[in-house]
Amino acid sequence: LSAGTAIEVDLEARDFDAAHGAHTAKPGTRKQRGSDADIQRRYSVEDLVALGFRHIPWDGLTPYPLIDPLGRVIGVLAGTPGSGYAEDLLRASDLILQEGKQAGLGAAAPNPHLRSSFPAYNCGITMGMGSPCPVALNPKALTVVLARLVGHETVLQMAMYQNRAFSIWAPRVYAVYEATQTRMYEELPTLSRNFPGSVFSAAAFNFGGNVWTYKHRDHLNWPFGWCAITALGRFDPARSAQLILWELKLVIDFPHAATILIPSAVITHSNTPVAEGDI
């Protein structure tokens, strides 16, 4: 915390595009999102700087809170917990690639999704889309694979750091997550956590090696909530998969093992493409 220097942005948190009641965000109108070609367009850092974006050449270690004009912390480049962690997470990265290959997952998704063309699967608990109560996510083709991943020590290590960073940088939001989950598990004891002690209800695993997302919002999540994103792999963060935060007009180098937390429901985000030879 003492090393953190704030990155100030012009947009106020109250101007984010939440639905009435703030249980979900809004997906954005077609005018806001653009055409399919625009959503899937490959942007370089140079393209984005020409559009007025700030390039943040982040080392993946130094923490930087993102603050709005009223001083609210609206997200954070959290970094890593310290020595040896990046090497440990290379094992997590290799494990995800190995499990994906054994499951027959290639570079392209068998069932295309809104985020991009790579295979991605969620596990944990979800709510909405017609369900009157929380239910377990159960992608049948990958149930066993995802169970192995959430049970692996390096993936658990990553999840615990994501959870701890959230609790440090957004303690009041974290407390809402914690209270809600405690009540949910008490009332629905058949549901189980991905990770003991984590307040995040679900996790997404991205497979295939060529992982970069199209322009999107995770609009069904809590609009005031934060999502943790951790980059994994063997790549040069100065040329591959930089994180783009559209409303904030930021493009951020995102090294292996680093974690960033953002309100992904209300901030449109994507990546620059993966350079040839990078994973």
Query: Per-residue pLDDT tens for 190-245?
Result: 999 999 999 999 999 999 889 999 999 998 889 999 999 999 999 999 999 999 99
The interaxial angle of helices 85-102 and 153-169, nearest 10 deg, is: 120
In a domain, 191, yes or no: yes
For the segment 48-93, what is each residue's pLDDT rounded down to a tens digit? 999 999 999 999 999 999 999 999 999 999 999 988 999 999 999 9
Helix (H) or strand (E) holding 235: none
In a domain, 11, yes or no: no
Q: Tell whether the model's pLDDT for residue 110 goes beyond 70.
A: no
d(CA 256, CA 247): 24
Q: Tell whether the model's pLDDT for residue 13 goes beyond 80.
A: yes
pLDDT for the residue numbered 34? 78
In a domain, 54, yes or no: yes
pLDDT for the residue numbered 183? 95
In a domain, 13, yes or no: no
Number of domains in the chain: 1
pTM: 0.93
For the segment 253-274, what is each residue's pLDDT rounded down to a tens digit? 999 999 999 999 999 999 999 9
In a domain, 278, yes or no: no
pLDDT for the residue numbered 4? 64
In a domain, 247, yes or no: no
Burial 218-239 (b: 16+ CB within 10 A, else e): bbbbbbbbbbbbbbbbebebeb
In a domain, 46, yes or no: yes
Q: What is the mean pLDDT of the chain?
A: 91
Domain that holds residue 95: 22-239+259-271
For the segment 117-166, what is each residue's pLDDT rounded down to a tens digit? 788 999 999 987 677 889 998 888 899 999 999 999 999 999 999 999 99
pLDDT for the residue numbered 278? 96
More confident residue, 111 or 187: 187
pLDDT for the residue numbered 24? 79
For the segment 38-53, what is each residue's pLDDT rounded down to a tens digit? 888 999 999 999 999 9
In a domain, 29, yes or no: yes
- Please name which of 176, 197, 266, 253 lies closest in space to residue 227, comparing C-alpha atoms: 266
pLDDT for the residue numbered 26? 80
3-state helix, strand, coil in the chain (%, to 5): 30, 20, 50
- Please name which of 35, 45, 77 lies closest in space to residue 242, comparing C-alpha atoms: 45
Q: Tell whether the model's pLDDT for residue 112 goes beyond 60.
A: no
For the segment 92-104, what is each residue's pLDDT rounded down to a tens digit? 999 999 999 999 9
